[in-house]
């Protein structure tokens, strides 16, 4: 669960609103500026080369959110958060 903590704290530090990641390896992120989940997915993929899961894929209540997974190495998790922190929301 250390990766989940790194993600939660890192994304919160950027000003994003996050949920989960305390008892599960998934963190849900509220998309900034009313951006669609697919637009936020595209932004992260194109600008910082991070793959996430658009909330819209989970049904209408997932729209406006993005799911980030804590599976992976600690080093990759730290790198991903560092890349995301280069963006301005």
pLDDT exceeds cutoff 90 at 50: yes
Per-residue tokens: 70:
């804590």
Name every residue whose Cβ is closer than 8 Å to that of residue 87 and which is 6 or more positions away in sequence: 14, 43, 44, 47, 48
Which pLDDT band holds residue 73 (cuts at 50, 70, 90)? very high
For the chain, what are the domain ranges?
2-84
Which pLDDT band holds residue 89 (cuts at 50, 70, 90)? confident
Q: What angle do CA 16, 73, 68 make, to 5 degrees?
A: 30
> Domain 2-84 - what CATH class?
alpha beta
Q: pLDDT tens digits, residue range 27-38?
A: 999 999 999 999
- pTM (global) more than 0.85: yes
The stretch 71-77 carries a mean pLDDT of 96
Which pLDDT band holds residue 1 (cuts at 50, 70, 90)? confident
């Amino acid at each position: 669960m250390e990766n989940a903590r790194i993600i939660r704290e890192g994304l919160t530090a950027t000003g994003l609103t996050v949920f989960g990641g305390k008892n599960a390896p998934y963190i849900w992120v509220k998309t900034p500026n009313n951006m669609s989940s697919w637009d936020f997915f595209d932004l992260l993929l194109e600008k910082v080369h991070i793959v996430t899961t658009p909330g819209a894929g989970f049904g209408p209540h997932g729209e406006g959110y993005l799911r980030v997974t804590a599976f992976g190495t600690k080093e990759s998790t730290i790198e991903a958060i560092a890349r995301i922190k280069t963006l301005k929301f």
